[in-house]
Amino acid sequence: MKRIAEVAAQAGIAEEHLELYGKYKGKLAPSLWEELKDRPNGRLVLVTAVNPTPAGEGKTLTTIGLSQALNACGVKTVAALREPSLGPCLGMKGGATGGGRAQIVPADEINLHFTGDIHAVTSAHNLLAAMIDNHLFQGNALGLDPQRIVWKRVMDMNDRSLRSIVTGLGDGNGPVRESGFQITTASEIMAVLCLCSNLADLRERLGRMLVGYDRDGRPVTAEKLGAVDAMTALLKEAVKPNLVQTLEGTPVIVHGGPFANIAHGCSSVIGTRYALKLGDVVVTEAGFGADLGAEKFMDIKCRQAGLAPSAAVLVVTVKSLKYNGGAGKEELYAPNRPALLAGLSNLERHVENLGKFGVPVLVALNHFEGDHPAEVEEVLAACARLGVPAALSRVWAEGGAGGQELAAALMKLLDEGKPAAFAPLYEDELDIPAKITKIVTEIYRGSSVAFSPAAKRSLAMIERLGLNKLQVCMAKTPYSFSDQPRLLGAPEGFTVQVRDITLSLGAGFAVVITGSIVTMPGLPAKPAAEAVHVDENGRIAGLS
Amino acid sequence: MKRIAEVAAQAGIAEEHLELYGKYKGKLAPSLWEELKDRPNGRLVLVTAVNPTPAGEGKTLTTIGLSQALNACGVKTVAALREPSLGPCLGMKGGATGGGRAQIVPADEINLHFTGDIHAVTSAHNLLAAMIDNHLFQGNALGLDPQRIVWKRVMDMNDRSLRSIVTGLGDGNGPVRESGFQITTASEIMAVLCLCSNLADLRERLGRMLVGYDRDGRPVTAEKLGAVDAMTALLKEAVKPNLVQTLEGTPVIVHGGPFANIAHGCSSVIGTRYALKLGDVVVTEAGFGADLGAEKFMDIKCRQAGLAPSAAVLVVTVKSLKYNGGAGKEELYAPNRPALLAGLSNLERHVENLGKFGVPVLVALNHFEGDHPAEVEEVLAACARLGVPAALSRVWAEGGAGGQELAAALMKLLDEGKPAAFAPLYEDELDIPAKITKIVTEIYRGSSVAFSPAAKRSLAMIERLGLNKLQVCMAKTPYSFSDQPRLLGAPEGFTVQVRDITLSLGAGFAVVITGSIVTMPGLPAKPAAEAVHVDENGRIAGLS
């Protein structure tokens, strides 16, 4: 590992703009922006994937490995990634810093507290929650309806027993009411942090967040609770992007990590903007598959921030295609040509969809040990038939050297392919139901949308509030194009059931809830925490 | 403000042992200990106070100002302080970094997230809580009695509505049970962090912590839940002491901040040990008045760590004496000789008590603007009559220059006075009830101790477990020597009611609960958070 000051210097960042957090992590000061802002932007490349499967596709891995490979062949590249959340690290998923020879480091510190950004979001969120309950306790001057408070509490932990709780029990502890905890990454504040342009914009957005309704049904925003300035103060360091490096010394901005269902699932706008000034190419990623992650990246993040991606890399694995083609979770290692061919339908549709945003696509076939050469060839041949460039990536085993073919294909696409003509999928002027319908029919390929009575009530209220032109953030199962997790491949003709629509007014979107979305994960029978060890010198094992 | 690397260099700390957190905060690496450990220790001075009053005594202020004054007159001094907790900062109390010209800086950052230590305690604590509920959910192989789980959750926020809650509601969210949140500083993990010697000791202590009882009434420790190594990993940075500076550049180690009622209320042992190797004099503080803070400092912290204080500084104010002598909260500015003379009884008893530990005492009369010169003289004259050295301190208004008299008096006491002959108050061999009785009769000056039925049941259980030689940590109102907050001055003849006794086995003490101890504060009608502002450049106002 190089000292982060050295990584920064190589990226052209003067020491005065770097705030160190130990020797290997740093935050980029706002003063740096003043120096960078007039430079031209580099080219933005989104790494996305087919629908996720139990075998894992390797989106973060590919983002890291591709940035290493690009740098290795002389293209000045910066990666922009999301911060891992502690809950999943210690729960089901383990670390989120890549793997093999395509990792960001120091992995353990990034996976644990990192520079404290997520803790700051937790504090700001729970300060507002405490202010709300205290407001009720102290007389409720705003006339808040205790039954219609939508602001919950958050914790960066997988803890199912906090999903639904009753608070305020006991003598003198304030009104008793039902509430619950979400994981911190599901906090609207995380989405706000990732979409804001600067501290002033952050403050404005925090003030707009909806906390509940008064007894007359009027929305009450965070601004009214008197804590928005204190919340902004709590977030003043968190809003600064973090700089780390890959195992090969590539600079990586790791900043923010909102949920990819009830939020938009992308790293911060501020971090991406810095990266675009520092790199000729910026490789970034979005949560889940392209149906959710890429759509929100384009329609929410790029739209709000005025960003225009130059290309998309669609990560696929032999195993993910077989799974999407009907092979069982335990059968993915066995050769299975029929499943592979059937699963290609999933890849094909994602490729088509990305084209609808005017963004050229490159398929990255992420190679796993044990992949059968014939199946690898099959996938590459299928891509050729579809007319989409594709390359094999071996970055897990070989780091940047294993991504040369992918990097070369990307540069060819960027330099010689048809230039991107980015446009979001839907126009701002459409009403929320029309926006939903457009996503469902053009991206998911369902035939229709059905709104539950609760969703209809919410839509009527949103219309009454004059908010029916909001952007939409789809909260849907990631496992299928449809809202039914087991409908794999490329389903058609289904109806998407909208259960409810909630407002994230600070983030600037309406959250469209289909199916049951869990915003507080639980721990499995063998939590990942049980495998974590630390020796007396502080060296951690078992985390990433 | 000097760069922290410069402060460290002046204190003799090589750059390689300093882990920077921005330009003005740093952590001391374990490698430094290897270099320091064979040096002789400096002299340890405890700053304590009379019983706290609504006007504030200025213990932290005096600790900071005295360390500035000592350095100014050529005595190499390091201060060792507790970390402020976010909850009170945003709640009732405001910041905790001193004031006027005796402050530690950067105050806003120390008051907010600092280097993340308290967040790490929160995460480690709540990981264990999540593992416990998950254990119940996954089949309860340990046979835990869900009604007798003593491990709650924590949050660094003042939030009364979380004091008593019901968790696990809703379908598939685990057993429904009563629980609650404490503020993070009340977590046993904070006490453990502050009493441990190193990472290995931390791990052992975490494993010993009691989480509940099984269906046969046997204690179940954290070790059994399988998360102790992960908890240690979460705390591996938090265990390193933090270095900051005063406004005059004096090095200050700010590390740990356990509650002063259900825990021992002192900064970390590790931080104190580093300070004793770096300074010829180390000035530190303990929570609340000397009846609680100094007693626990001597009987718990010094005993466990093998430390021996050389002197104690007892902070008093004209206002605190008048309040202890019966003057009302609103009358403290008006001259009131009778109240002042009556209140001296409180000072006198604390002086006597400190003598029982074999520690020489110096009274620091912390001067407030508006103090009447005649009353100041009265206090100093009374100290002379009592035969205790005393000095006026004007460090709020004048910084180190205003503490010259105090510093000179301290050095005279240390260099020319009768040397300290430190011994804890009670012997290890005494049973818990005998230890409690000794504290109550010799320090509080009550006539007896009464144990509630619950306390008797706990004592019987503790005896059955073979733990009846544990140290005791008194949880009592700080406002009186007795367990009745309104019994001011120097009451006698009262009976202390012990409501319950709980076990902090990781910290190594039994917590003796008298009266009702709130471990989760609430917010007042006008929370301090409402006064906090931050401008677009990230400058904070209204916090400290």
- CB-nearest partner of B229 from A20, A168, A534: A534
Size of interface A-B (CB pairs under 8 A): 224
In the stretch 179-198 of chain B, residues with CB closer than 8 A to chain A read 198
* Cα nearest neighbour of A197 on chain B: B536
Between chains, do A157 and B126 touch, taking CB under 8 Å as contact?
A: yes
- CB-nearest partner of A113 from B119, B133, B169: B119
- Confidence band for B543, pLDDT divided at 50, 70 and 90: confident
Whether the pLDDT of residue A543 is over 90: the answer is no
User: What's the pLDDT score for residue B23?
Assistant: 92
Angle between helices B59-72 and B404-416 (to 10 degrees): 80
CA B530 – CA B159 distance, rounded (Å): 15
What sign has the CA pseudo-torsion A40, A42, A43, A45? negative
If you average pLDDT over every residue of chain A, what do you get? 96
Between chains, do A538 and B22 touch, taking CB under 8 Å as contact?
A: no
- Confidence band for B95, pLDDT divided at 50, 70 and 90: confident
User: What's the pLDDT score for residue A421?
Assistant: 98
User: What's the pLDDT score for residue B516?
Assistant: 87
Architecture of the domain spanning B432-514: Roll (3.10)
- Residues linked to residue B238 through DSSP beta bridges, in sequence order: none
Where exactly are the structural domains of chain A?
4-116+238-416, 118-225, 432-514
If you average pLDDT over every residue of chain B, what do you get? 96
What DSSP state is assigned to residue A527? -
Average pLDDT on B369-377 reads 95
User: What's the pLDDT score for residue A183?
Assistant: 97
Neighbours of B28 (CB within 10 A): 25
pLDDT per residue as tens digits for the range A343-399: 999 999 999 999 999 999 999 999 999 999 999 999 999 999 999 999 999 999 999
Residues of A in contact with B223 (CB under 8 A): none
Between chains, do B173 and A163 touch, taking CB under 8 Å as contact?
A: yes
Question: How far is A89 from chain B, CA to nearest CA, in Å?
Answer: 11
Average pLDDT on A309-335 reads 96
Question: How far is B452 from chain A, CA to nearest CA, in Å?
Answer: 21
DSSP states of B69-86: HHHHTT--EEEEEPPPPH
Between chains, do B138 and A527 touch, taking CB under 8 Å as contact?
A: no
* Residue B186 Cα distances to A130, A390, B436, angstroms: 18, 57, 21
User: What's the pLDDT score for residue A60?
Assistant: 96
Q: Is A229 on the interface with B (CB under 8 A)?
A: yes
Burial of A249 (0-12, 13-18, 19+ CB in 10 A): middle
The contacts of residue A415 (CB under 8 Å, 6+ apart) are none
User: What's the pLDDT score for residue B14?
Assistant: 95
CATH 3.10.105.10 is held by the domain B4-116+238-416: no
User: What's the pLDDT score for residue A544?
Assistant: 73
Between chains, do A232 and B534 touch, taking CB under 8 Å as contact?
A: yes
Q: Helix, strand, or coil here: A473? A: strand
Ligand-binding annotation for A54, yes or no, is yes
CA A330 – CA A506 distance, rounded (Å): 43
- Confidence band for A515, pLDDT divided at 50, 70 and 90: confident
Between chains, do B226 and A138 touch, taking CB under 8 Å as contact?
A: no
Between chains, do A22 and B21 touch, taking CB under 8 Å as contact?
A: yes
In the stretch 121-160 of chain B, residues with CB closer than 8 A to chain A read 122-123, 126-127, 129-131, 133-134, 137-138, 153, 155-160
CA B198 – CA B208 distance, rounded (Å): 16
* Cα nearest neighbour of A229 on chain B: B533
What DSSP state is assigned to residue A41? P
- CB-nearest partner of B236 from A30, A153, A538: A538
Whether the pLDDT of residue B388 is over 80: the answer is yes
Q: Is B30 on the interface with A (CB under 8 A)?
A: yes
Between chains, do A165 and B167 touch, taking CB under 8 Å as contact?
A: yes
pLDDT per residue as tens digits for the range A491-504: 999 999 999 999 99
Q: Is B519 on the interface with A (CB under 8 A)?
A: no
Q: Is A483 on the interface with B (CB under 8 A)?
A: no
Cα angle B487, B493, B496 (rounded to 5 degrees) comes to 70
pLDDT per residue as tens digits for the range A192-215: 999 999 999 999 999 999 999 999
Residue to test with chain A: of B34, B109, B117, B127, most A Cβ within 10 A: B127
The contacts of residue B89 (CB under 8 Å, 6+ apart) are B95, B96, B111, B112, B528, B543
Neighbours of A201 (CB within 10 A): 16
Amino acid at position A474, single letter:
M
CA B317 – CA B379 distance, rounded (Å): 9
Whether the pLDDT of residue B92 is over 90: the answer is no
Measuring CA to CA, which residue among A207, A300, A368, A278 is closest to residue A510? A300
Between chains, do A164 and B178 touch, taking CB under 8 Å as contact?
A: no
* Cα nearest neighbour of B158 on chain A: A130
User: What's the pLDDT score for residue A448?
Assistant: 97
Between chains, do A133 and B160 touch, taking CB under 8 Å as contact?
A: yes
Residue to test with chain B: of A19, A133, A161, most B Cβ within 10 A: A161
Beta pairing, strands A495-504 & A448-451: parallel
Task: Give percent above pLDDT 70 in chain A.
Answer: 100
pLDDT per residue as tens digits for the range B313-368: 999 999 999 999 999 999 999 999 999 999 999 999 999 999 999 999 999 999 99
Q: Maximum Cα–Cα distance for chain A, whole Å?
A: 72
Q: Helix, strand, or coil here: A297? A: helix
DSSP states of A205-230: HHHH-EEEEETTS-EEEGGGGT-HHH
Alpha helix ranges (H) inside B395-530: 395-398, 404-416, 432-439, 453-464
Cβ(B499)–Cβ(B452) below 8 Å: yes
Residues of B in contact with A162 (CB under 8 A): 153, 167
CATH topology of domain A118-225: Domain 2, N(10)-formyltetrahydrofolate synthetase (3.30.1510)
Ligand-binding annotation for A53, yes or no, is yes
Alpha helix ranges (H) inside A138-227: 188-195, 199-208
Between chains, do A133 and B537 touch, taking CB under 8 Å as contact?
A: no
pLDDT per residue as tens digits for the range A459-477: 999 999 999 999 999 999 9
User: What's the pLDDT score for residue A92?
Assistant: 85
Question: How far is B6 from chain A, CA to nearest CA, in Å?
Answer: 15
Q: In which residue are the tokens 């195992």 written? A: A247
User: What's the pLDDT score for residue B20?
Assistant: 94
User: What's the pLDDT score for residue A321?
Assistant: 97
Ligand-binding annotation for A491, yes or no, is no
Whether the pLDDT of residue A93 is over 80: the answer is no
Whether the pLDDT of residue A66 is over 80: the answer is yes
pTM: 0.97
Phi first, then psi: give them for residue A139, nearest 5 degrees.
125, -10
User: What's the pLDDT score for residue A121?
Assistant: 98
Cβ(A45)–Cβ(A420) below 8 Å: no
Q: In which residue are the tokens 């010394």 written? A: A249
* Residue B199 Cα distances to A162, B8, B277, B476, angstroms: 30, 23, 19, 31
B6 CA to centre of own chain: 29
pLDDT per residue as tens digits for the range A262-303: 999 999 999 999 999 999 999 999 999 999 999 999 999 999
Between chains, do A134 and B232 touch, taking CB under 8 Å as contact?
A: no
- CB-nearest partner of B170 from A22, A164, A523: A164
Question: How far is B370 from chain A, CA to nearest CA, in Å?
Answer: 32
- CB-nearest partner of B130 from A227, A523, A533: A523
**Residues of the binding site of B for ATP:** 53-60
Between chains, do B166 and A166 touch, taking CB under 8 Å as contact?
A: yes
Whether the pLDDT of residue B93 is over 80: the answer is no
Question: How far is A57 from chain B, CA to nearest CA, in Å?
Answer: 27
- Confidence band for A536, pLDDT divided at 50, 70 and 90: confident
- Confidence band for A340, pLDDT divided at 50, 70 and 90: very high
B481 CA to centre of own chain: 18
Cβ(B128)–Cβ(B231) below 8 Å: yes
Query: What ipTM describes this predicted complex?
Result: 0.96
User: What's the pLDDT score for residue A96?
Assistant: 85
